[in-house]
Structure 1
Amino acid sequence: MASITIRNLDDSIKEQLRIAAAHNGHSMEEEVRLILGRALATVDQAGGLGSRIRNRFSDVGGVDLDLPIRSEKATAVDFSE
């Protein structure tokens, strides 16, 4: 297992963490592991921006677009002018 060190942690945050750990019957380390696990679990489910937009508007329905077939290769933009 890996370990991390958190520097410059505000004293009030450390105190809140200590109180939460005591209230939940955990060590401060265990409380931090649980907090990080919960925070990252919700991030994974949310996905990226595109996924969140798609999920938000999925009930509205989609649109089928007729996309033309590209006949020429894409070229880089010339900004030299």
Structure 2
Amino acid sequence: MGNMSIRNIPDEAHEALKARAKSNGRSAEAEVRAMIIETARQSNSGGFGSRLTKRFKGVEGDELNIERDRTPAQTASFE
């Protein structure tokens, strides 16, 4: 496994990282590791949109033509 040191992280970013790690029940180091792993996985497999495209490839439906309802909306009443 590789090792890495990251220097000169702005204090604000470091505090945000520690807060995120705490909310996820991890150390700051474990949080950074999880972020790096997730980013690497996404770049290898594509993002959510790419996965959706692969999942529904070949499914027809782009010829669907629905007329837009142009009826004015009613004003909300809070009484």
Q: Match for residue 17 of structure 1?
A: 17
Misfit runs of 4+, over 6 Å: none
TM (norm. structure 1) is 0.54
Q: Which residue of 2 aligns with 1:34?
A: 34
Taking the TM superposition and a 5 Å limit, the aligned residue runs for 1:1-81 are 1-46=1-46
Measured in 2, the distance between the counterparts of 1:18 and 1:42 equals: 23
Matches of 1:36 and 1:6 in 2, distance apart? Answer: 13
Mark the runs of 5 or more structure 2 residues left unpaired by the alignment. 59-79
Aligned to 2:66: none
Q: Give the Å deviation of 1:3.
A: 1.2
> So what's the TM-score if we normalise by structure 2?
0.55
Q: Alpha-carbon deviations, 1:17-41, whole Å to 9, x = none?
A: 1001111110111000101111111
The RMSD of aligned alpha carbons is 2.0
> In 1, Cα distance between the equivalents of 2:10 and 2:45?
29
Q: CA deviation at 1:8?
A: 1.4
**Which structure 1 segments of 5+ residues have no match?**
47-51, 60-81
The alpha carbon displacement at 1:7 in A equals 1.3
Partner Cα distance (1:9, 1:22) in 2: 18
Structure showing greater Rg: 1
